Amino acid sequence: MKKTFYITTPIYYPSGKFHIGSAYTTCFCDTLTRYKQLQGFDTRFLTGTDEHGLKIQQAAEAAGKKPQDHVDYIASLAQDLWKLLAVQNDDFIRTTEPRHERVVEQIFEQLLAQDDIYLGSYSGHYCVQDEAYFTQTQLKDGNLCPDCGRETKIVQEETYFLRLSKYQDTLLQFIEDNPDFITPETRKNEVVSFVKSGLNDLSVSRTAFEWGIKVPSNPKHVVYVWIDALSNYISALGYKSTDDSLYQKYWVEGNEVVHVVGKDILRFHAIYWPIMLMALGVPIKFKLFAHGWYMMKDGKMSKSKGNVIYPDQLVQRYGLDPFRYYIVKELPYGGDGVFTPEDFVSRVNTEIVNDLGNLVSRTISMAKKYFNGTVRQVTHHHEFSTFEQQLVTLSGEMIASYTAQMDEFKISQAMSDITTLVNRTNKLIDETSPWALAKDPNTMDVLESVIYHLLDSIRLAAILYRPILIESSPKIFEALQVEEQYQGFDALVFGLKKEYIVNAQAPHLLPRLDAEKEIPFIQSLMKGESKAPKVEVIIKDEITIEDFSKIDLRVGKVVSCEKHPNAAKLLLLKVDTGDKVRSIVSGIAEFYKPEDLVGKWIVVVANLKPVKLRGELSEGMILAGDSAGKIVIIEASSDLSIGSMVK
Ligand code: MSP
């Protein structure tokens, strides 16, 4: 039986577009999940949206929408984004789903029946933004919220309370008995001192607004949004439902459960949630990892400051690997990190394009040039054996360190271990000068041994990168023709694959980013100015309307698309333009995958004289924009019928 691993992100507040900070937790969890899968765990990964509460009711009102419509829209934004980022969550829970609401109702009623929740009344300073009460001494500058700095309001209401005080000592004991329950250590210390300072019972219902889960036995009360939200981690597993098999498997009998959260919501997860579980008689199975925040040079990301950066913008321009690589690497363990366009460009260029990309392409071209692509493990000793042995030893150390770091949620450090391995491998090339060895027939077996070491080391790095460079790692395996049995974590042993047969072109992992162009581009994204860098505009000679009317432009729909058999830059499209389905050859293979185009509504120059392009007939041209070398197809609205004239 495989060991289980259950991991969750916080469920997100649907407050608009997700910036890179909010994408961090999800990318982090996705990376860890992929790592655990490679280690042979049976994984389950949950994320979702936190859709109740006054803040959301107000946001919906501001948008002129019903709350349900508002949250439907934002939940779809979240789901689209996770898809774009290739996040492999197994479930997506929304707190407005009946499967969740029914569980929260039961949890509340059980705690009420047990007298862990009781009715009382409350008067305090309430922050709408953070959905939390603060005492007078906690407030900043008079009546400002200590967390977000917004004005708090004095609210008095009849409310239910959860007896936190009753569980204070048991919680402290639990934290002491389970030293790795809360990590990093500094966060644990914060929690311990907060609990030791004394827990007040927590107000867990509201009567001032409607948008939430009603307390079944007293429906003028709405369940406090944190009691509602925290329950998602088990409601999504079917806790208290007719089928609780997932709950039994991944929670009760599960081997590992991890909640990953940002430091801002530590207290809720480290205090309220375990106390809720104790009161419910549910075992506290989880480990809590609280990460820091992504900041910008001038502080927190905010639209009004003009310093927000959105993940989809970066992914669309640079691809998945650079984004995912950067985002999980740049935030140091436990601390905050700063996003800067300069760092983004230089990390991608240095660590992926230079260190890894060059190593792969140099090694492949040497294997082909000197050995026709076939390179075997050579066993006898030679003058460079010491260097090779150093590499082998280091690879073992890095693999062990990487695993230890990943297991402690130190993904960024684990990634540095791979970089160390890659750099040591590059160093072997400098130490041995393969091109010099190739000149002497007597040193060809020495050369073969060196190249074998490079190849097998690349294989190890590509395995370690599997949870991170999700597109590049498979490309490396393909180019090196590494069979599946040598791609797994159990194949992380130097020398396991005895022979390499490398015929393919060196894979084009990632293009080098032109710092002079890309840094200003990202800066302009941050200011929300434009989606693309400014282009130099030179208008061609004037034409008359008659000249223009000679061009027959039509709306068409792409019915199929495939790669051109003889030209890597070309795609073959079949486009329905109303009169017929025409074949069109287009030079956009660098920018679109064939499957991305199928179903798109586009504009076609329909009366262009047919030509053959590299052996394939092309009956027209599709319209596209060229933005500093990046080609983007002009899409037509599907409100137009196929064959509509464009004028
Ligand atoms: N809805 C609550 C969580 C309830 S869980 C039972 C919530 N949602 S949130 O949308 O505000 O935040 C979701 C996650 O994104 C949190 O882990 C938060 O820390 C994280 N981040 C939001 N901005 C961030 C940065 N700038 N940097 C890193 N992570 C940050 O809290």
Cβ–ligand 1 distance for 56 under 6 Å, the answer: no
Ligand 1 contact via 14 beta carbon (within 6 Å) = no
Q: What is the pLDDT of residue 619?
A: 95
pLDDT of residue 505: 78
- Average pLDDT of the residues of the chain: 93
Return the pLDDT at 157: 82
User: What's the 624 CA to ligand 1 centre distance in angstroms?
Assistant: 38
Tokens of 522: 């990202």
Kindly tell me if the per-residue pLDDT of 374 is higher than 90: yes
Tell whether ligand 1 has an atom less than 6 A from the beta carbon of residue 50: yes
* Spatial separation of the C-alpha atoms in residues 437 and 418, rounded to whole Å: 28
Residue 530: per-residue pLDDT: 56
pLDDT average, residue stretch 50-61: 92
Q: Where are the domains of the chain?
A: 4-291, 338-501, 545-633
The CA radius of gyration of the chain, in Å to the nearest whole number, is 29
> 71-85, 169-183, 507-521, 541-555: which has the highest mean pLDDT?
169-183
Pocket test for ligand 1, best of 18, 19, 25 (most atoms within 8 A of CB): 25
Q: How far is the CA of 453 from the centre of ligand 1 (A)?
A: 44
Closest by CA to 186, choosing from 266, 300, 276, is 266
In the prediction, which pLDDT does 303 show?
A: 73
Nearest CA to ligand 1 atom 24: 21
Convert the pLDDT of each residue in 478-535 to its tens digit: 999 999 999 999 999 999 999 999 987 777 778 899 999 999 999 999 888 755 544 4
Cα–Cα distance between 437 and 52 in angstroms, integer?
69
Q: Is the CB of 230 under 6 A from ligand 1?
A: yes
Q: What is the 3-state secondary structure (H, E, C) of 266-311?
A: HHHHHHHHHHHHHHHCCCCCEEEEEECCEEECCECCCCCCCCCCCH
Q: Which of 233, 300, 274, 264 is nearest to 25 (CA)?
A: 264
- The third-level CATH classification (topology) of the domain covering 4-291 is Rossmann fold (3.40.50)
Residue nearest to atom 5 of ligand 1 (CA): 10
Q: Is the pLDDT of residue 627 over 80?
A: no
Q: How far is the CA of 173 from the centre of ligand 1 (A)?
A: 28
Nearest CA to ligand 1 atom 25: 21
Pocket flag, ligand 1, residue 290 (CB < 6 Å):
no
pLDDT-based confidence at 536, cuts 50/70/90? low
Distance separating alpha carbons of residues 216 and 212, to the nearest angstrom:
12
Would you say the CB of residue 21 lies under 6 angstroms from ligand 1?
yes
Give tens-digit pLDDT for 257-304: 999 999 999 999 999 999 999 999 999 999 999 999 999 888 888 777
The pLDDT, as a whole number, for residue 318 is: 93
pLDDT at 464 over 90: yes
Residue ranges with strand state E in 353-422: 374-376
Residue 296 contacts residue 338 (beta carbons within 8 Å)? yes
Record the pTM: 0.81
Confirm if 264 and 293 have CB atoms less than 8 A apart.
yes
d(CA 114, CA 261): 30
Distance 260 CA to ligand 1 centre (A): 10
Residue 628 has pLDDT above 80, yes or no: no
Ligand 1 centre distance from Cα of residue 407 (Å): 22
- CATH topology assigned to domain 545-633: OB fold (Dihydrolipoamide Acetyltransferase, E2P) (2.40.50)
The answer to whether 102 touches 241, Cβ cutoff 8 Å, is yes
What the block records as the tokens of 352 is 């992926």
Distance from the alpha carbon of residue 464 to the mean position of ligand 1, in angstroms: 28
Predicted pLDDT of residue 596? 85
Which pLDDT tens digit goes with each residue over 105-159?
Answer: 999 999 999 999 999 998 889 888 887 888 888 899 888 999 899 999 988 889 9
Residues listed for the chain:
647
Which among 67, 47, 51, 45 has a CA at the least distance from the CA of 13? 51
Cα–Cα distance, 563 to 117 (Å, whole number): 64
Q: Ligand 1 centre from 497 Cα, in Å?
A: 44
- Closest residue by CA, ligand 1 atom 10: 12
User: What superfamily would CATH give domain 338-501?
Assistant: Isoleucyl-tRNA Synthetase; Domain 1 (1.10.730.10)
What one-character-per-residue DSSP string does 455-470 give? HHHHHHHHHHTTTT-T
Ligand 1 contact, 293 CB (< 6 A):
yes
Average pLDDT of the segment spanning 354-361: 95
